[in-house]
Amino acid sequence: WRKVLDLEVRSAGLTDATWRPLLHLHLLGDGIRQKDLAASVGIEGPSVVRLLDTLIAKGLIERSEDAADRRAKLLRLTPDGLLIVNRIHETVLALEREVLSPYSASEIEQMAEFIQRLEASVNGVRR
């Protein structure tokens, strides 16, 4: 399924590094601060600035000053950015349906619970 997603992302002129921030911005909502998006994606300082500059140059996001704190920058998806996010989201949902189709709702629920427990365990080890 990764190949199908990569093809969709590449057809939009994006890379693995650039589509994830778009999706996070959509999920977190327009008008979030740049630092909050960076934390959500798991990237820092100069890396996020370069990445956002790329997305701005492609016309997919807009960056503006926060009226409450002029040092902070707010991010919004452009209409083109929203179209791409919707295409990627539709592709992910279709792939998810295809991958999970052999499993019952109960089995999917059990897998989700296991993954949550595994994630909590991994996060506990990192501390």
Task: List the domains of the chain with CATH numbers.
Answer: 2-126 (1.10.10.10)
Question: Contact at 8 Å (CB) between 64 and 74?
Answer: yes
Question: Contact at 8 Å (CB) between 110 and 24?
Answer: no
Residue 108 confidence (pLDDT): 94
Residue 127 confidence (pLDDT): 62
Question: Torsion over CA of 53, 22, 84 and 65, rounded to 10 degrees?
Answer: -50
Where b means 16+ CB within 10 Å and e means fewer, 59-71 reads ebbeeeeeeeeee
Distance, in Å, from the CA atom of 25 to the CA atom of 14, rounded to the nearest integer, reads: 15
Residue 126 has pLDDT above 80, yes or no: no
Report, as an integer, the average pLDDT of 21-42.
90
Q: What is the pLDDT of residues 45-64, one digit of tens each?
A: 788 889 999 999 999 999 99
Residue 5 confidence (pLDDT): 80
